Amino acid sequence: MKKCINCGNSIDKQHNYCSNCGQNTSVNEITYKEFFNNLISVFDLEKSFFSTFIKLVLKPDIVVKEYLQGKRINYFSPLKLFFVVYSFFSLFAIIIDKENPNAIKILIENLLFFLILSLIYYGFARFKIKYIESIIYSLYTGSIIFFIVRSFSISMDIISDSIDDTLFLILIISHIIAMIAYLTFVYKKLFNFKFFISVLASIFTLTALFFLLQTSNLIL
């Protein structure tokens, strides 16, 4: 028999965890490897994060539908996905932005982005789904849109002084096309819209997001 280092409970030698408190019985002195593993585990960046992200680009309907059906073990949770993507770009923005942007304001703007997107999805679904489901839709697909937007924004901040106006315009158009293309794909797969309707829905969504976020930006 051995004693649990956490609660003092008696544990059989063949057991690896305390039956009373769940403490691991084989705990060694802290090492740099364990420290960094714990740091990474704050975001739980395991295989499911990268596989979920890639699958959301290629098969967003499969990810959302299977997650809502309860097949969640292979998927990174939508809320955690949002916070990981948001935290990454926020940290990057602080590093390259000498003006030290208001982190609270940025967080509120990003939460509004997902809220507005969820309401738009809810409307396009004609209220046939639960609102919580439209939130899952927006957190998953919105994280990809957010990634596209922030990647472009940061890239422009870095290279804008070294490119001419023509190339700048080409990059902006390419960025808009990428967002429309992804949203069109989402509407076609998730909502079973026809291609032309999906394109119109995508343009409406991006336009609504732009104007509503601009309005909220003036208020904030």
Range of the domain at 171: 46-219
As a whole number of angstroms, the distance between CA 204 and CA 42 comes to: 37
20 in any annotated domain:
no
pLDDT of res. 22: 72
Give the pLDDT confidence of 103-120 residue by residue, as tens digits. 677 777 778 888 889 999
Q: Determine the average pLDDT of the residues in 27-55.
A: 64
H or E element at residue 99? none
Q: Determine the average pLDDT of the residues in 9-16.
A: 76
28 in any annotated domain:
no
Give the pLDDT confidence of 48-73 residue by residue, as tens digits. 788 889 999 999 999 998 888 888 87
More confident residue, 173 or 96: 173
24 in any annotated domain:
no
What sign results for the dihedral spanned by CA atoms 60, 62, 66, 69?
positive
Give me the number of domains the chain comprises: 1
As a whole number of angstroms, the distance between CA 156 and CA 87 comes to: 19
Contact between 101 and 154 under an 8 Å Cβ cutoff? The reply is no
As a whole number of angstroms, the distance between CA 64 and CA 52 comes to: 10
**What is the rounded end-to-end Cα distance, in angstroms, of the chain?**
62
pLDDT of res. 43: 53
52 in any annotated domain:
yes
More confident residue, 41 or 118: 118
78 in any annotated domain:
yes
202 in any annotated domain:
yes
Contact between 162 and 199 under an 8 Å Cβ cutoff? The reply is no
pLDDT of res. 38: 54
CA dihedral of residues 39, 41, 42, 48 (deg, nearest 10) = 140
Contact between 101 and 186 under an 8 Å Cβ cutoff? The reply is no
What tokens were used for 99?
């003006």
Q: Determine the average pLDDT of the residues in 202-210.
A: 90
pLDDT band at 33 (very low <50, low <70, confident <90, very high): low
147 in any annotated domain:
yes
pLDDT of res. 60: 92
Greatest mean pLDDT range, 10-19, 93-102, 168-177, 179-188: 179-188
- Kindly tell me if the per-residue pLDDT of 137 is higher than 80: yes
pLDDT of res. 41: 57
Contact between 18 and 7 under an 8 Å Cβ cutoff? The reply is yes
